[in-house]
Structure 1
Amino acid sequence: MTDNINPSHYKDGPFECIELTRLLSFDWGNVVKYCYRWQSKNGVEDLRKALWYANDAVIHGIPLYEATGLFDQRYVIFCHSLFGALADTDWAGLKDLWRAFANNRSNKDILTAIKNKLNEIEKEGK
């Protein structure tokens, strides 16, 4: 039986996608969500949506992490470990993107990682 509420493309990774996205601001959470599932749901369209949200976050200066009372160094380390797990497994073929998040690189580096993946796909004709 298919679970349309929490489908497998959110649960099949090294952890459930929501474990990470709930810790991020809205725009960055959407970047992660669309990148996490792109191969299993809408393909390149999801990567383009991720790029749109990343660009929006950069333009509007949206911080990566959700502002909560939980925000401290342990919180950041936990998020980076989740991004590191995605990079280590090359989840969704986006190792460079997950490493950019895990290593606290600039938001523009994150944008570049998404653009590079889209360019790679276009060159391969997928």
Structure 2
Amino acid sequence: MTDNINPSHYKDGPFECIELSRLLSSDWGQAVQYCFRWQHKNGVEDLKKALWFINDALNHNVPPIAAWNREDACASEAKADTLLKILATENWADLGRFWLELEHGTAWTVRLALAEKINEIEKEGK
């Protein structure tokens, strides 16, 4: 039976996608969800949607981590870093550099990593 509410492309990774996306602000969480599933749903179109959300976050100065207070922010950032390290190490969804930049880089290097991946895929004709 197919689960249209929480489909397998969000659950089949090294952890369930929502474990990471719930720690992030809306734009960044959306970008992560599109990147997490891109190979199993809409292909490069999903990566372009993720890039749209990253651009929106950059244009509106939206930080990656969502938190009510500084203490929550520190805890969320530590957990997000752990999950991103797992994704980068496993090169999840063939986006190792994207996950690594999201863990250690700046918003702009995250954007660049994703834009370069999109260009690479389009050159290969996937």
Could you tell me the TM-score, scaled by structure 2's length?
0.95
CA distance in 1, matches of 2:20, 2:60: 22
What residue in structure 2 maps to residue 113 of structure 1? 113
Aligned residues: 125
Q: Deviations over 1:32-69 (max 9, x none)?
A: 00000000011111000000000000010001111224
Q: CA deviation at 1:72?
A: 4.1
* 114-123 or 63-72, which deviates more: 63-72
Structure 1: tracts of 5 or more residues without a match:
none
Structure 2: tracts of 5 or more residues without a match:
none
What residue in structure 1 maps to residue 76 of structure 2? 75
* 14-23 or 70-79, which deviates more: 70-79
What residue in structure 1 maps to residue 51 of structure 2? 51
Q: Deviations over 1:91-126 (max 9, x none)?
A: 0000000000111x1101010011011011011011
What residue in structure 1 maps to residue 7 of structure 2? 7
CA distance in 2, matches of 1:67, 1:102: 17
Aligned letter for 1:123? K
Q: What is the aligned-residue identity percentage?
A: 54
Of Structure 1 and Structure 2, which has the larger fraction of its residues in helix? 2
CA distance in 1, matches of 2:117, 2:46: 12
CA distance in 2, matches of 1:102, 1:12: 21
Aligned letter for 2:59? I
Aligned letter for 2:23? L
1:78-93 to structure 2, matched below 5 A, reads 78-93=79-94
Aligned letter for 1:107? A
Q: The residue matched to 1:57 in structure 2 has which SS?
A: helix
Q: The residue matched to 2:39 in structure 1 has which SS?
A: coil
